[in-house]
Every structure is written in structure tokens, then in C-alpha cells.
Structure 1
Amino acid sequence: MDFTSDNICGVSTEILAALSLANEAEAAAPYGADAMSMSLDTLFSDLFKRPARVFPVVTGTAANALALSACVQPWQAILTHEKAHIEVMECGAPEFMTGGAKLIGVAGDNGKLDLVALKKAVQDSGQGCIHRSQIACISLTQTTDAGTVYTVAELQEITDFAREQGLLVHMDGARFANAVVSLGCEASELVKGIDVLSFGATKNGAMNAEAIVFFNDKLAENFIFQAKRTGHVVSKARYLAAQLKAYVTDDLWLKNAERANEVATYLVDQLQKLDGVSVFTPVESNLVFVEVADGLAEWLKDQGVGFYSEAGRADGQRKLRFVCGFSTTQSKVDSLIYVIRSYYKLLKAA
């Protein structure tokens, strides 16, 4: 039983079929000049109901770092949540790809940027001061790293503020599909006011494909050279394009995300029936955060259950994260619940 992340899941059969079909072509132009790669701009423009320029890459880290490199100069700064993925989980890639632009963490409950704190960060940033990095961009994560989802209204407030301040807005959408499903809205509603989106697919059924989607055409003008300079222009790009095309065709991306979200909801329902397990973050997508005793966390490890965990605290409690993917089943959840119940039975018997 592995609930470590949704990227442990395999590849959707539809995407494997698309890769096989792409492989049947005897030859195709390299570096994105093939017909399938050339069709992505139109495909994503239709999906988001606004003009888009699309650049496929193979990792989410590349998508985020390269997208941000198009938004800022090395002497500028990016405001993001203090626990955002780009801040704590990218090994300095955004700073590296931007040539040294500074990431500034901003507070906010449950993984979301707080608008009041965001405004204060800009107010206190020293804009125009020669000694301070100049803020140029806001980066937000949808779905957040806490598993929560920005509503359309919340996004509107942040993007409106960004426009007032002359700031660009980047969205880390590694789990963008889960947010669309959670809100039951159109994808286009979540990208209003967004300049560039890191559109995730690998966590939700693709093999190794992400898309940098520019809605601000000016940012995309010379981006291909930045991508090439950093080694992210793929020779056989048709295989990335084939994955992305299959991913959004017939709403596969939404169907996969819906399954992941539904199983996460089922997991929460089962966990809340247990004593000694506390769900401490709103579950709005496919990520579930719980607080348990150290002993239970160690027991789960011993039983081969995969999960992310924070260090144990002085009070003997520990925070765990369980993630459900598109191929996670209810029976897998039932097995996890059985293992947890077994721990408490042993405690009572001792």
C-alpha cells in the first residue's frame, strides 16, 4: 500500500495507446516541429478559451522554474506561499533558472496565499529601493501543497491585486485537474488573470509530460531559447505532445482527477471513524493530512505502508500525508484502514 504521492501511479491506457500510435510514424520532424506538437497551441487555446502558447517539458520542476524564468529578471523577486512547492521542494531550481531571482515566502492558512499578507509583503518590499530585490511576480499553487483549492473568487482577488501592482502571475498547476474537478467549474475560469500556467499531467496519468502554457504572449516570444539553453527542448517532442493531446482529449484528465478525488473523500470518511486519527486540513482534492501518534506512524511503516511524514513532536504526535491517485482503489483504502485498526487492537491486547 503506497500513498506516498500520486506520481507513483502508472500511465493511463489511453496515453500508452497514444504513445504507441505516435511511434508508428516512420519519421517526424524533431524539436517540436512535428504536426502533433504544432497542434498544441490550438488544442490548449480551445481548452482554456483564450489564446495560449504551449511548450512541453518532461518534469514539473522544469515547468515551474522555466515558467518563472520568463517572468522575472535575476535582480527581481517572486512572492509565493511560505510552504509552496517552488519554495521548499525544488532544490533551488527556480532561483537557478531565473539567474538568481529571490523567492519571498508569504503566510497563509492551509497552503493558500493570504491576500492581506500578500499586500503587506508588497508594501514592505522596498519597491524602487536600490538595496532590495524588486518584486515582479506572484506564484500560486492550484491545487495547493496542503490539498486545498483556491476558489474562482479568491483567484480573482489575487490576480486583480497583481494587476494593480503591475505584477505577473504564475500558477503551479501540478494538480490543476484535481482543482477543476473539486470546484466543478470550467478550466478557463481558473486561469483568468494568469500569465503562465505550469500544467501538470504526470501526477494524473501521463508518463513524463508537463506543459508550460503562456497566456501572456509577450512572455512566450523568446522562451524557446531559454528552454533550449537549459536543455529542455526535447528532440522527439512528438512523444510529449502525444501524451498531452491524449490527456485532454475526451476529458481524460478530468476523469482521472475525479477518481483520485473521490477515493480521497472515501479515505477521509473512513479515517474519521477511527479514534486516534485526526484529519487536520480541509480535504478538497486528492491529498489527505492526518495527525497520529508516533507509534502508529512507525507501525504503518513496518507494515509497508507508504506515506510522507513530518518529524515526530515532543507530544508524541506526528503529521502524515496520504495521497490518492487516479488508479488508487477503495480496496486499497480498506487495506490501510485494516492496518490502522490492527494497531489499536494490539494496543488493547497488550
Structure 2
Amino acid sequence: MARIAVLFSLILMCCTLRAQPLAVETHVDGLEHPWSMVFLPDGRALVTERPGRLRVIAANGRLVEAPVAGTPEVYADSQGGLMGLALHPDYAENGWIYMTLAHGTAQANATRVVRGRLEEGAWTANEVLFTAQPFKDTPVHYGGRMAFLPDGTLLVSVGDGFDYREHAQRLDSHLGKIIRIHDDGSVPADNPFRSREDALPEIFSLGHRNPQGLVVEPGTGHIWSHEHGPRGGDELNLIRAGNNYGWPVVTQGVDYSGARVTPYTTRPGMIDPVHGWTPSIAPAGMGQYHGSLFSEWQGDLLVASLVEKTVRRVAIENGEVVGDAPLGLELEHRLRDVRVGPDGALYVLTDEKSGQIIRISY
């Protein structure tokens, strides 16, 4: 019965997409590998560029020519650079903006979280809140997404560093984890491993590969995260405190060489994904639809993909996936992130040297 319900939901989703053609237009161009985007209450928007620039989009949609001055230095190489963006839940009162970045050198680098304020075109009051341990010597698998929980604490995804996959199962390493901190970087007393002497106190969940989608669902508080598998085995997970999501002991994928990572696709004590993609779509960003433009999409997850080059609409009900279909955008671009704008339209970031923000509406 469950499979029939999923199939019926998928058919309905596909029919809806065909019945209402989508308008796809370039909203902003002239960006270099845009990575994340947030909308400000005054109508402006902010966008990170992976080489290390924070850009402002004016309320009229024009890209401000000069990048924001005074942003922190980043280690920009391969997948590393300036990455995630998030606004404090009380941004209108305190002005705090949160960013993730690759910090360090080629020989020693790590995912870092900072916060600061935007004042007259400059980044001010910079504070370093978190730096992943240990440092690594690979320029890939940083994670870098953030989401605030209803209690005001901040979740941050940290990748496994690729060559450090075994760290995803170690509690003395932040690699391959989702971490949880207070908005000022301090550690919550109720973190699941806070009382263990052999564990880093910031760890919230473990067993992740490269989680680059992170959404906290309003109302339910459900934490949705997706992560890149190797060749296949991309995962959508429902995150709960203290859970182990298996990597690299458990995966549906194989290594890039074709070799098996592990003989296991499931193990006792490790949480299976709610949904997955094989072959890999390379999920790279995720939003959840709450708006008036696409009324039939309310609560659906929106997953941007690098390899499939589309946005997938994933319907969820009560913590389960009941439908999954591509929007059929026919874009020949690697898609890094998808955001829902105040107008209800989708804003999709293309991961290219001549990057764009694409607006999707009816």
C-alpha cells in the first residue's frame, strides 16, 4: 500500500508539472561560482561566491558591482571557499549574518563558521564561532550548510574531507558530522555527546559523507539533510540528535573506481536514509517551499543537483517521502542551491565561473 501511495503521489506531481508550464529567466548574472543566498527584510539579497566574495543584490534586482568589503579571508581551492549563508532568527533586531568558509592552507584547512554584520557595504564585527577539528589536507567535502532550530541553536554540516572517511564514525573528530552550537558559538548543555570525555561536545549526529542540504521544517521541527554519496547512494535523511547515519560502514553507492566501499547497505544501530538517489544526482542545496506562487507545493522539499542539472521536488508527509519528481527545467547548468524568495518564486544558483541566479515562476 505504501508503494502504491508513493506511485500515485508521483503521478499527481508529474501531471501538475505538465499542466502548469514554468517560466525560467535569468535574474542575476556576472557571479563566479555562487554558493548560497539569503533575502534581507529590506528587499535586498546576499550571495556568496566561492572564491571569497560576498555580494549584494539591490531591491531592484541589480547586482551591486563592488563586493562587500572586509569579509574574512578564505582558503579557495577546488570545493573550498566562501560557502553557506544564514540570517539570525532575530536578524531584524540584531543584524547578525552567519557564513561558513574553508579556512587555512592546502596542508591544513577546515570548515569554519563566522558571524558579522553588514554596515554601509562592509562586513563588520566579525566573530569566529566554530572551526572543525582536526584540520585536513584535502580541498573537498566541507559540508557548509546551516539552519537554525526553533530553540535558536544553529546546526552546521561538516563533510568528511574525502580522504578522511573513517572520521565520520569517530566522536573525537568533527569530520562527517552535523554539529550544533548556540548562536554565539558556545555548546548547548543538552547536546547528545556533551557528557562524554571521548567525544567533541558540538557533535549532534554522525556518519555523514558530504551533507550539503539542511532544512528545519517549520511546525514539526523535523531536520532534513541530504548528502552526496560516492557513485550512487545519495541520501535524504531525517536527522535526530545522537543518531548514526552509517557512512562509510553503510552506503548504497560504490567508490569512484568502481570498488565496493563496504558490503553493508544497512546495519543495526545505524539509520537508513528516508530516500535516496542511485545513480547519483549530486544533491548540492535544498530549500522547503512555503509561499503563495506554487500553492500545491506547500511543504515540499526542493533539491538542487549538480549532475542531474535540475531541481527535484520531493513531497513529504509526516516525515516520509511520498513523491519525487524533477521540475523539468531543461537547464544545462550545474545547480548549487535553490532558495524560495519572498515573492514565492524559486531562485536557483548555477555553479559555474560565469554563474547566474535563475528565477523560476509560472
TM-score between the two structures when normalised by the length of structure 1: 0.27
More strand by share: 2
TM-score between the two structures when normalised by the length of structure 2: 0.26
Larger radius of gyration: 1
More helix by share: 1
